Amino acid sequence: MDLFPSELMSEIEELNRNFIRSQGDSHGRAKLARGQGVFQQASQFISKARENIAVLTYAERPPAPSTFAEQIRDHLLEHDHISFEVVIAANVRKAGRKFWAESDARFQIYEASGLEDRLIRWVLDTNVPTGFDVIIIDQKHVCLAFSPFPLSKQDTKHLALFFENAGDFARGLSLWFHALKLAAKPYEICRQRMGFRRHR
């Protein structure tokens, strides 16, 4: 089953072209990536970070491969001034032990390397399982990832748009991300309120 029919692909590619035209030569270009190419391109974006990496991800989505988390970890270790902010969108009332255990295991990649003080986590309580996964780098570069539906059982992001040197678009999304954090709850507090303790 093709989760992204040709009509949708045409609309996305037109969005890409319009973005390029509106940004002009001084603001770079947008790129379209598919399948495993999404994380390859995302890794290149992460390597550009010098100040901040901000991520919104949906709990219903297949997680990024552990190698991607390890690449972020390595980049943080190489650049000690970069902060890493993560907002997980999840239906907190339905999130069970499996959700918290898997999230803890993924974050352990950073904590085991002494990065817990630079890893800032929130949970956004929502019963809407669909949306864009978002990465914002230094208020300059943006990734919008279309995730496959949970029922597809695919283990990778299927499609993503990457906006390099995105100007006002990136700065506007950074303000949106800040507002998102205000609506979310700190990860540890949220888990404790739901009655789940961390097992080390």
pLDDT for the residue 117: 92
Q: Could you please report the per-residue DSSP string of 142-155?
A: EEEEEPPPGGG---
- Among 171, 160, 180, residue whose Cα is nearest residue 16: 160
Number of domains composing the chain: 1
| Within a domain: 90 | yes
Position 16 confidence tier, pLDDT thresholds 50, 70, 90: low
pLDDT tens per residue across span 150-171:
545 555 557 899 999 998 889 9
pLDDT for the residue 26: 43
| Within a domain: 73 | yes
Q: Mean pLDDT across the stretch 130-137?
A: 86
> Which of 26-30, 74-78, 135-139 shows the lowest mean pLDDT across its residues?
26-30
| Within a domain: 22 | no
| Length of the chain in terms of residues written | 200
Say which CATH number the domain at 53 has.
3.30.870.10
Its domain, for residue 98, covers 6-13+30-193
pLDDT for the residue 3: 40
pLDDT for the residue 150: 52
Q: Which residue is listed with tokens 């303790």? A: 197
pLDDT for the residue 112: 94
Torsion of CA 165, 171, 177, 179, to 10 degrees: 180
CA distances to 11, 52, 126 from 86, rounded to whole Å, are: 29, 11, 15
- Tokens standing for residue 32: 């379209």
> Which of 21-30, 75-84, 132-141, 158-167 shows the lowest mean pLDDT across its residues?
21-30
- Tokens standing for residue 21: 């035209």
Position 175 confidence tier, pLDDT thresholds 50, 70, 90: very high
| Within a domain: 146 | yes
What's the pTM?
Answer: 0.80
Q: Which residue is listed with tokens 């898997």? A: 102
Q: In the predicted model, is pLDDT for residue 52 greater than 50?
A: yes
Q: What is the mean pLDDT of the chain?
A: 81
β-strands 133-137, 119-125 pairing: unpaired
pLDDT for the residue 2: 39
